[in-house]
C-alpha cells in the first residue's frame, strides 16, 4: 500500500494547528511503519508553508501538478491534511481522505483571511464530493461537519490530534510569575477577553503579582496594544511576537498560568501543550472547544470570574497542584502512536475495499 500525504513543506517549525497536525501525522505514521510519499518536500522556491497569500496556490496546486506531470504522484491512498489540499482530488487516481479541522463560524477579520477562506472553501466543496473518508480531529468537528454538510456515517470518523513528546515539564525551568497566551492575534481568538480579565486581576489587593505575556502575531495586535494603554496596564503586558518552535516548550514551562480565551477551536492544541508542561489552563465557559480537550481546564464565565480564578490558582497551592496533576494525566491521552494507528487503519480499510471491488 502506497500512501501520499498531501501537505505543505514540513520544515520542523509548525506555525499553526494545521501544520502541527501535518508534522505529527507524518512522524506518527513513520513510527508505525508507514513511509508516506510527501510531494512538497523538495519545493525549490523559498516560500513559507503558511502566512503568505502565495502559499496555498504554490503548495496545494502548482507543486502537486508538477509532480503529477513528472509521474511522481502515484499512490493507492491520498490523504489531504486540510480541506485546502483536497483541491487536487479531481486529478488523483486512488482512494481519497481529507482531514477536516473545523467549520468556520466567525467572520474573516482581514482581506488575506477572506482570500484564504475562499481558497479553503473551494477545497471543502471538492472534498465533500470526492473524499472516500473524512477524518475529523475532534467530536466537535465531526458534529459541525455533519450538521453543516450532511455527511453520511460511513464516510466520517473522528481521530483525535496528537501531542508531540517534546511537550513536558522541564525540571530546571523557572516560573516568571506570568499568565501567558500563545496563538494568533485575531478576533476569533478573543484575546481582548484575556486582557480585560488580567486588568481586573491587576486591581486586586493581596494577590501575587503577575505579568501578562502574549505570544503571537495577527491583525488584532494594534487594537490589543491600544486596549492595554486604555486600561493602564501597558507596563505589565509584554507582546513577544511569534515564538520559535525550539523555544515553545521552554516558553510554556515559564508560565504560571496559561489562558486560551478563544470563541472557537477545532481542537485547541495549546491546551494540551500547556497541560503537558505542567501549567494550569483557563478557558471560557461556552466556547466552541471540543469537550474531550477542554475537560480538564478551569472554565470561566466572564472577565471577572477569570480574574477571580486566576487569584485562586495563584493563592491556593493545593488547588494549583490538583489542576496541574489532572492536566498532566489528561495530556497523556493524546499520543502520536494512537493517532497513527487509527489513521493507518483507515488507509487499510479503504485499500481492502478497493481490492474487493476490483
Strands of the sheet containing 133-136, edge to edge, are 3-6, 77-80, 95-100, 133-136, 156-158
Predicted confidence at residue 17, as pLDDT, reads 87
Look at residue 101 and tell me if it is in a domain.
yes
Residues 6+ apart with CB under 8 A from 22: 5, 7, 8, 10, 14, 81
| Dihedral angle over CA of 299, 301, 305, 306, nearest 10 | 50
Look at residue 253 and tell me if it is in a domain.
yes
Same structural domain for residues 325 and 187?
Answer: yes
Q: Taking residues 99-121, what's their average pLDDT?
A: 87
d(CA 214, CA 255): 11
- State yes or no: pLDDT of 20 exceeds 80: yes
DSSP-based helix, strand, coil % in the chain, nearest 5: 50, 15, 35
- State yes or no: pLDDT of 357 exceeds 80: no
Same structural domain for residues 343 and 212?
Answer: no
CB-based burial of residue 50 (10 Å sphere; 0-12 exposed, 13-18 middle, 19+ buried)?
middle
Same structural domain for residues 225 and 313?
Answer: yes
pTM of the model: 0.86
Task: Tell me how many domains the chain contains.
Answer: 2
Look at residue 319 and tell me if it is in a domain.
yes
CATH code at 304? 3.40.50.2000
318-340: per-residue pLDDT in tens? 999 999 999 999 999 999 999 99
CB-based burial of residue 38 (10 Å sphere; 0-12 exposed, 13-18 middle, 19+ buried)?
middle
Domain assignment of residue 123, given as a range: 3-162+335-357
Mean pLDDT of the chain: 94
Predicted confidence at residue 108, as pLDDT, reads 82
Same structural domain for residues 345 and 312?
Answer: no
Alpha helices in the chain (DSSP H): 17-31, 55-57, 63-69, 111-130, 139-149, 191-203, 221-230, 245-254, 269-276, 291-294, 303-315, 317-331, 336-357
Q: Which residues pair with 79 in a beta bridge?
A: 5, 97
43-90: per-residue pLDDT in tens? 888 999 998 889 999 999 999 999 999 999 999 999 999 999 999 999
Question: Higher confidence at residue 358 or residue 31?
Answer: 31
Same structural domain for residues 323 and 349?
Answer: no
Tell me which residue of 51, 114, 133, 122 sits closest to 83, measured CA to CA: 122
d(CA 325, CA 322): 5
Predicted confidence at residue 15, as pLDDT, reads 85
Three cell numbers at 264?
Answer: 472557537
Same structural domain for residues 240 and 140?
Answer: no
Could you tell me if 88 and 61 are in contact, meaning their C-beta atoms sit under 8 angstroms apart?
A: yes
Same structural domain for residues 321 and 342?
Answer: no
Same structural domain for residues 9 and 139?
Answer: yes
Amino acid at each position: 500500500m502506497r500512501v501520499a500525504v498531501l501537505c505543505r513543506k514540513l520544515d520542523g517549525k509548525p506555525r499553526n494547528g494545521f501544520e502541527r497536525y501535518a508534522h505529527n501525522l507524518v512522524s506518527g505514521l513513520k513510527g508505525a511503519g508507514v513511509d508516506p510519499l510527501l510531494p512538497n518536500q523538495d519545493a525549490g522556491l523559498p516560500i513559507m508553508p503558511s502566512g503568505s497569500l502565495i502559499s496555498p496556490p504554490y503548495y496545494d496546486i502548482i507543486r502537486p501538478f508538477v509532480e503529477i506531470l513528472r509521474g511522481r504522484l502515484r499512490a493507492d491512498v491520498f490523504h489531504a491534511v486540510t480541506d485546502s489540499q483536497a483541491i487536487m482530488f479531481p486529478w488523483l487516481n486512488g482512494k481519497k481522505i481529507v482531514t477536516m479541522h473545523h467549520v468556520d463560524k466567525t467572520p474573516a477579520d482581514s482581506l488575506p483571511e477572506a482570500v484564504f477562506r475562499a481558497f479553503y472553501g473551494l477545497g471543502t466543496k471538492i472534498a465533500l464530493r470526492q473524499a472516500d473518508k473524512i477524518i475529523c480531529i475532534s467530536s466537535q468537528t465531526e458534529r459541525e461537519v455533519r450538521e453543516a454538510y450532511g455527511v453520511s456515517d460511513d464516510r466520517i470518523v473522528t481521530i483525535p490530534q496528537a501531542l508531540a513528546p517534546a511537550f513536558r515539564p522541564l525540571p530546571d525551568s523557572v516560573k516568571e510569575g506570568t499568565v501567558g497566551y500563545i496563538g494568533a492575534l485575531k478576533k476569533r481568538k478573543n484575546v481582548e477577553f484575556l486582557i480585560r480579565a488580567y486588568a481586573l486581576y491587576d486591581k486586586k489587593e493581596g494577590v501575587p503579582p503577575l505579568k501578562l505575556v502574549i505570544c503571537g502575531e495577527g491583525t488584532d495586535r494594534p487594537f490589543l496594544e491600544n486596549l492595554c494603554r486604555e486600561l493602564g496596564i501597558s507596563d505589565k503586558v509584554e507582546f513577544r511576537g511569534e515564538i520559535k518552535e525550539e523555544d515553545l516548550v521552554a516558553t510554556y514551562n515559564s508560565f504560571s498560568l496559561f489562558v486560551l480565551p478563544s470563541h472557537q477551536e477545532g481542537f485547541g492544541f495549546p491546551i494540551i501543550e500547556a497541560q503537558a508542561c505542567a501549567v494550569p489552563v483557563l478557558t471560557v465557559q461556552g466556547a466552541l472547544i471540543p469537550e474531550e480537550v477542554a475537560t480538564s481546564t478551569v472554565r470561566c464565565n466572564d472577565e471577572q470570574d477569570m480574574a477571580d480564578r486566576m487569584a485562586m490558582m495563584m493563592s491556593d497551592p493545593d488547588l494549583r497542584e490538583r489542576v496541574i496533576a489532572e492536566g498532566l494525566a489528561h495530556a497523556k491521552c493524546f499520543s502520536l502512536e494512537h493517532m497513527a494507528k487509527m489513521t493507518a487503519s483507515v488507509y487499510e480499510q479503504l485499500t481492502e475495499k478497493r481490492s474487493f471491488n476490483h
